[in-house]
Homo-oligomer: A and B are copies of this chain.
Amino acid sequence: MNKWYLESGFQDDIVISTRIRLARNIKNIPFPSKMSEADGKKVVDTVENSLSRVSYGFEKVNISELNDTDKNVYIEEYYLSPKMLKGSKERAMFISQDGRVSIMANEEDHLRIQCMYPGFEPEKAYDVINKTDDCISETIQYAYSEKYGFLTSCLTNLGTGMRVSFMVHLPALVKTGMAKRLFGALSKMGIAVRGIYGEGTDSKGDIFQISNQKTLGETEEEIIKRMSDIMTEIISKERELRNTIIHEDRLSLENKIMRAMGTLRYATLIDSNEMMECLSYVRLGASLGIIENTENKDLTKILIELRPYHIAKTSDNALTIKERDAKRAKLIKEYLK
């Protein structure tokens, strides 16, 4: 199976990923929180049958068959949500061969359809998820109200059930202190800004997730358009500020960027927070032409594949914190070769 983050993407020096997800439920089956074991099984089977008709094949992942590390590896890659680890009903995930589309069955809703692209690709991602949604709806009748739209477990998803979310790297906005004001303005526009691992997490390495809160009162196309326009403005502001800071004091910024690269290439013990800080400078450096021969996709790969459970997976034994820091440092060197 391919992974969504292994390729380069448009403007991926700022936008690490574009993610769209749709919340859908099957008509006449209770929502996952209320349904029976049999209903749970029925949902998984129905989704599996439906997907078998989609031309670009899906691979089924049976969540209950995964060990703890493997589940968390999928979470670290954004295929699974942490919520999928809770609850006792039968749950499954289906991932497309290209690694861009994934469908969770029996998360908070019967179906959570997701499409991920590296870089800034709202139209492409929307096109793919829309086609997948159409294809599924040929065999599955969704719970739908003419008045409200798609019915969902949680009211916050009612209507389109669509969340558009960008994982963005905003070092210049953060370092100039402008990020706080921007995030305040976004909040007033109904745009949520979250940390790198989603709701309730801190930002690390100047990385944020920016997504729409509203799913009701706008069409899917309107949400895509509005979110694209806002992201275009954020990208443009971030780019402008990068040029400002590099011109204001090139020597100091270059020094921080090169030292970060030195730390990544030479440290033999490094914790996750420091790695994230260093990666932020290196990504900024690559964007400004100070770091050469390092592509954004290489840095995104490190960002994802050197998360704790990915590192744990490389070893047969449970690692102490220090051993994990050593392993992380070793892997960074290999990734940066």
Chain A positions within 8 Å of B, measured between CB atoms, are 251-252, 254-255, 258-259, 261-263, 265-269, 322, 326, 329
Contacts of A262 in B (CB 8 A): 259, 262-263, 265-267
Other A-B contacts than A254-B268, A258-B268, A262-B265, 17 sampled, CB-CB below 8 A, are: A251-B268, A251-B322, A252-B269, A255-B267, A255-B268, A255-B269, A255-B329, A259-B262, A259-B263, A259-B266, A259-B268, A262-B262, A262-B263, A262-B266, A263-B263, A265-B266, A266-B266
The 3 closest A-B pairs by CB, nearest first: A262-B266, A262-B262, A255-B269
Min Cβ gap A330→B in Å is 11
Contacts of A267 in B (CB 8 A): 255, 258-259, 262
What CA separation (Å) do A15 and B267 show in the bound complex?
28
Ordered by A's residue number, 12 sampled pairs between the chains whose C-beta atoms are within 8 Å are A255-B268, A255-B269, A258-B266, A258-B267, A258-B268, A259-B268, A262-B262, A262-B263, A262-B265, A262-B267, A263-B266, A266-B266
What CA separation (Å) do A258 and B261 show in the bound complex?
13
Contacts of A251 in B (CB 8 A): 268-269, 322, 326
Majority SS at the chain A contact face: helix
Contacts of A269 in B (CB 8 A): 251-252, 255
Contacts of A263 in B (CB 8 A): 259, 262-263, 266
What CA separation (Å) do A268 and B291 show in the bound complex?
13
Q: Nearest B residue to A263 by beta-carbon distance?
A: B262
**Interface hub of A255, A265, A268 (most chain B Cβ within 10 A):** A268
Contacts of A258 in B (CB 8 A): 266-268
Min Cβ gap A198→B in Å is 31
Q: Nearest B residue to A257 by beta-carbon distance?
A: B268
What CA separation (Å) do A326 and B326 show in the bound complex?
31
**Interface hub of A259, A263, A326 (most chain B Cβ within 10 A):** A259
What CA separation (Å) do A267 and B260 show in the bound complex?
9
What CA separation (Å) do A315 and B67 show in the bound complex?
63
Min Cβ gap A129→B in Å is 42
Q: Nearest B residue to A262 by beta-carbon distance?
A: B266
What CA separation (Å) do A265 and B259 show in the bound complex?
9
What CA separation (Å) do A252 and B326 show in the bound complex?
10
What CA separation (Å) do A326 and B266 show in the bound complex?
21
Q: Nearest B residue to A323 by beta-carbon distance?
A: B251
The reply to whether A261 and B266 form a contact with Cβ atoms under 8 Å apart is yes
Min Cβ gap A131→B in Å is 47
What CA separation (Å) do A266 and B259 show in the bound complex?
5
Min Cβ gap A275→B in Å is 13
What CA separation (Å) do A248 and B252 show in the bound complex?
37
What CA separation (Å) do A115 and B265 show in the bound complex?
42
What CA separation (Å) do A242 and B255 show in the bound complex?
32
Min Cβ gap A186→B in Å is 35
Contacts of A259 in B (CB 8 A): 262-263, 266-268
Min Cβ gap A246→B in Å is 13
What CA separation (Å) do A268 and B261 show in the bound complex?
11
Contacts of A255 in B (CB 8 A): 267-269, 329
**Interface hub of A252, A258, A267 (most chain B Cβ within 10 A):** A258
What CA separation (Å) do A261 and B259 show in the bound complex?
11
